[in-house]
C-alpha cells in the first residue's frame, strides 16, 4: 500500500510543504492580527477539519450535496475534499475529512453563512453529524507560484504551518526556501493552494499558513530522500518552524 512507503520516510515527506511557503516577512505571515476588512473583494478560502460521529457519514454526505448547491448560487464552490489516511508530522487526531471551499469575497462568505436556507440545512444535517470541527478562514498569500490542479487519482498533502517568531528565523528559512524551490519540481510535486488564515473557530490553534499539494508518485518523493542537495538544507528548515501538522490522503473531490 502506498501509504506504508510514506511511513518509512517521514523526514522526506515533511520537507515538501516547507519548500514553497511565503515567509518573506513576518508581517505577511502573521495575518491573524490584520484587520479583516483588508479581505474585501479578495478571494476567501475556508478550510475545515471535520470529525464525524459514528454512523453519520450518510447524513453528512447529504449536507455536502445540499449545502454545496446553495454555495454555488453565491459564486463559491467546494474546490477540494481530502480524506486523510495518515498524519506524517504532528500529534493530532486524524480528521475524517478536510474541506477547502472558496468564495469571491468575505462579503459573499458572510452572506452565504447567514442564508436562511443554508442555516436550515446546516442545522438539519451537519450539526447532528459532526463530532468536532476546526475552521480556518483564509486569504491568499502573496507568494507567486505555478498553480496546478490535480484530480481524484492523486495523493494529496495538507500542511498546517506554524512559524517561529523573529526575523532571524525568517531569514534562515528564506535561505532554505530559495534553494529548495529550484530542486523540488524535479520530483513531481504540484501545488494547488498557499493561504494564510486570519480567523478561526475550534480547538486546533490557528496556523500561520496552510498549503495543499499533490504528488505525481510516492516513488518520486522517496527519491528525494537520498538527494544530497536536499539533505544539506534540512538543518535550516528544521530551525525555522515552531510546529506543524502534515496530513497525507486521498481526494474525494
Domains for the chain: give ranges and CATH numbers: 2-251 (3.30.70.100)
Place of cell 475529512: 97
Coil vs helix vs strand at 31: helix
- What is the pLDDT at residue 3? 46
Beta partners for 52?
A: 130
Residue 241: φ, ψ to 5° = -110, 150
- What is the pLDDT at residue 40? 63
Beta partners for 135?
A: 48, 201
- What is the pLDDT at residue 100? 97
- What is the pLDDT at residue 224? 78
Considering the entire predicted model, what is its pTM? 0.83
| Angstrom distance (rounded) from CA 41 to CA 251 | 29
Give the Cβ contact number of residue 66 at 10 Å.
18
**Binned average pLDDT, 10 residues per bin, the chain of 253 residues:** 41 41 36 46 93 97 96 95 95 97 95 96 97 96 77 92 85 76 83 92 94 87 85 88 92 92
Of 249, 252, 251, 169, the residue nearest 1 (C-alpha):
249
Q: Please say whether the beta carbons of 15 and 215 come within 8 A.
A: no
Residue by residue, what is the 3-state secondary structure of 212-243?
A: EEEECCHHHHHHHHCCHHHHHHHHHHHHHEEE
- What is the pLDDT at residue 166? 86
Amino acid at each position: 500500500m502506498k501509504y506504508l512507503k510514506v511511513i518509512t520516510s517521514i523526514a522526506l515527506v515533511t520537507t515538501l510543504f516547507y519548500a514553497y511557503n511565503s515567509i518573506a516577512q513576518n508581517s505577511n505571515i502573521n495575518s491573524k492580527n490584520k484587520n479583516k476588512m483588508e479581505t474585501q473583494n479578495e478571494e476567501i478560502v475556508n478550510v475545515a477539519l471535520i470529525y464525524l460521529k459514528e454512523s453519520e457519514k450518510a447524513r453528512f454526505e447529504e449536507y455536502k450535496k445540499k449545502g454545496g448547491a446553495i454555495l454555488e448560487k453565491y459564486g463559491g464552490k467546494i474546490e477540494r475534499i481530502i480524506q486523510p489516511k495518515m498524519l506524517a508530522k504532528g500529534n493530532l487526531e486524524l480528521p475524517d475529512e478536510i474541506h477547502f471551499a472558496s468564495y469571491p469575497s468575505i462579503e459573499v462568505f458572510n452572506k452565504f453563512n447567514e442564508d436562511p436556507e443554508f442555516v436550515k440545512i446546516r442545522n438539519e444535517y451537519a450539526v447532528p453529524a459532526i463530532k468536532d470541527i476546526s475552521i480556518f478562514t483564509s486569504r491568499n498569500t502573496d507568494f507567486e507560484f505555478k498553480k496546478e490542479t490535480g484530480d481524484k487519482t492523486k495523493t494529496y498533502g495538507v500542511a498546517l504551518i506554524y512559524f517561529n517568531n523573529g526575523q532571524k528565523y525568517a531569514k534562515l528559512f528564506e535561505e532554505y526556501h530559495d534553494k529548495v524551490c529550484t530542486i523540488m519540481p524535479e520530483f513531481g510535486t504540484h501545488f494547488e493552494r498557499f493561504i494564510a488564515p486570519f480567523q478561526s473557530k475550534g480547538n486546533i490553534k490557528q496556523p500561520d499558513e496552510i498549503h495543499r499539494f499533490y504528488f505525481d508518485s510516492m516513488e518520486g518523493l522517496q527519491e528525494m530522500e537520498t538527494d544530497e542537495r536536499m539533505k544539506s538544507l534540512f538543518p535550516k528548515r528544521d530551525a525555522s518552524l515552531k510546529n506543524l501538522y502534515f496530513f497525507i490522503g486521498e481526494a474525494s473531490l
